[in-house]
Structure 1
Amino acid sequence: MSTLNNHQSQGFTLLEILVAMAIFTLIGIASTGLLTNVLDDDKASSERFAQLEKLQRAMLTIERDVLQAMPRAVRINGELNQVVMRGGEDELGGSADSIGFVHGGWHNPQFMLPRSTLQLVGYRLQDDKLQRLYGNYLDNVIGYEPKTKDILDGVSNFQVEFLLSSDEEAQWQESYTGVELPMAVAITLTTDVFGEIRREFLLASQ
C-alpha cells in the first residue's frame, strides 16, 4: 500500500515537463503567427479601404466639375479669349494629359461671398499626383497663378478624351480646344493600386 502511495506522489518527470513546455511553445508560436497574419491582413484591408475612399473622393470631384461644365470663356493674361474648354497633352504643364474649363454650381449662399458661382478649374498629373487647379475669380489679373491641390496620389497616367458628336462613326479625340463644349468627356486614370479606371461624362449642356 505504501509503495502505491509513493508512486502516486512522484508527480511529473523532467522529460514530461520538457515535452509539455515544447508543446505549449509550439502552440504559442502558431498562435502568434496566426495573430500576426490577422493583424497584417487587417492593416492591409484598412490601407486599401483608405485608398479606395481617396479614389472615390477624387472621382466625385471630377464628376461634379465636368458635369457642370459651362460654355464660358475667360481672359488669358488679360486678353479676350473665346475658348471654353481645352484639353490634351502639354496644356497645363503636367506630365500627361490635362483639361481646363469653367464649371457652375460653386456654392455661394445668398451671394454673400465676393465671387461668382462659376469657377475656372483644371486637372493635370504632376509627380504621380493628380492635381486640381482652381481660382476664386474667373478673369484674373496678369501673372496670377492658380491654386493647386493634390487630390489623388499613386497615379501613373492621366488621359482625357473628347467626343464631339453623337454620330455612330464619331471617334474619341485625344485633344480639344473649342469655343463650344464637346458632347462628352472621358477621363482615364491609371493608379498603382487599382489599375486603369475610365469614366465617361455626357455634358449637361448637350
Structure 2
Amino acid sequence: MMRAPGQVVCEGFTLLELLVALAIFGLLAAMSYSGLQAVLQQQSYTEQAADRLGALQKLYLIMQRDIEQIVARTVRDEFGDAQPPVVGGDALQFTRGGWRNPAGRQRSTLQRVGYAYDDEQLIRYTWSVLDRAQDSEAVQQPLIEEIERMQLRYLDRNDEWQEQWPASDADSDPDPEDPLLAIPKAIEVTIEHNRFGPIVWLFQLPQ
C-alpha cells in the first residue's frame, strides 16, 4: 500500500514492548515501596530508641532527686519495729527530705521511699507516713520496663562496698548511737536493660 506524501503514520507499541514497560514499572514500584518501608521502619526504630533513652533519663533524675536527699531519720514499720534511715539489699528503702507540699497540707516534708525490681519493671514505692500502722499501704509507681535486673551496692565509712545496708560486717556496721553513720556515703545502682545492657549510676549521699 502506497503512502501519500506528508501522511503521518502512527505506530503503537507492540505487545512485547508493553510487557517490558509494565515489568519495568512494576519493578520500580516495588523498589520504591521497599525503600519507603525501610525508611518508615528506621524511623520507628529511632523513635523507640529515643523513648527508651528518655525513660532512662527520667528514671535517673527521679532516683537522683530521692537518694541525694536521704536524711538520718529512723522509722517504725507496720509491726512497730524501728528501721534504719536506709535499708538495702536487692531492694532499697530510705527516708528522704524535700517532699514537696504545693497544697500546703499539714504534714512532714520527710517521706519514706523505696525501689524494687519486679517482673522486668523498676518500681518506686512511697508511703504517706513515716511511722506506719498495720493498714498503711505503699503507693506503687512503675518507672521503667525492659529491665532484666537491678543490683545495689553501698559505700561505707571505710570506703568499702557492701552488698547490703546496714552492713553485716562488724567493722563496717554503722554505730546505732550515731544516726549519721547509719547512712552510706554513696549508693551504686546497676540496672540491666535488655536493649542497652548494664547501666551504672553512682549517687553521693549527704553527710
Please give the range of the TM-score, normalised by the shorter of the 2 chains: 0.7 to 0.9
Q: For structure 1, which segment, 71-80 or 36-45, has the greater mean C-alpha deviation from structure 2 after superposition?
A: 71-80
State the match for 1:26 in structure 2. 27
| Residues 115 and 136, structure 1, Cα contact 8 Å, conserved in 2 | no
How many pairs were matched up? 193
| Residues 152 and 163, structure 2, Cα contact 8 Å, conserved in 1 | yes
Amino acid at match of 1:15: L
State the match for 1:184 in structure 2. 186
Cα distance change on mapping 1:65 and 1:194 into 2, 3 Å: same
State the match for 1:112 in structure 2. 104
- Please state how far the C-alpha of 1:114 moved relative to its aligned partner: 2.8
| Residues 184 and 203, structure 1, Cα contact 8 Å, conserved in 2 | yes
In structure 1, the gaps of 5 or more residues are: 89-96
Runs of 4+ aligned residues of structure 1 deviating over 6 Å after TM superposition are: 3-7
State the match for 1:16 in structure 2. 17
SS in 2 for 1:69: coil
State the match for 1:136 in structure 2. 128
State the match for 1:173 in structure 2. 162
| Residues 76 and 132, structure 2, Cα contact 8 Å, conserved in 1 | yes
| Residues 135 and 146, structure 1, Cα contact 8 Å, conserved in 2 | yes
- Please state how far the C-alpha of 1:144 moved relative to its aligned partner: 1.6
State the match for 2:200 in structure 1. 198
State the match for 1:94 in structure 2. none
The alignment yields a C-alpha RMSD, in angstroms, of 2.0
- Please state how far the C-alpha of 1:82 moved relative to its aligned partner: 5.3
State the match for 2:171 in structure 1. none
Q: Deviations over 1:1-49 (max 9, x none)?
A: 8289778411221111111111111000000000001001111111111
SS in 2 for 1:130: strand
| Residues 127 and 136, structure 2, Cα contact 8 Å, conserved in 1 | no
Q: For structure 1, which segment, 130-139 or 175-184, has the greater mean C-alpha deviation from structure 2 after superposition?
A: 175-184
| Residues 184 and 205, structure 2, Cα contact 8 Å, conserved in 1 | yes
- Please state how far the C-alpha of 1:140 moved relative to its aligned partner: 2.1
Separation of aligned partners in 2, 1:190 and 1:3:
86
- Please state how far the C-alpha of 1:64 moved relative to its aligned partner: 0.6
| Residues 100 and 120, structure 1, Cα contact 8 Å, conserved in 2 | yes
State the match for 1:122 in structure 2. 114
| Residues 125 and 139, structure 2, Cα contact 8 Å, conserved in 1 | yes
Please give the TM-score of this superposition, normalised by the length of structure 2.
0.86
Separation of aligned partners in 1, 2:132 and 2:194:
36
State the match for 1:91 in structure 2. none
Matches within 5 A, 1:59-98: 59-77=60-78, 79=80, 81=82, 83-88=84-89, 97-98=90-91
Cα distance change on mapping 1:197 and 1:114 into 2, 3 Å: same
State the match for 1:92 in structure 2. none
Q: Percent identity?
A: 34
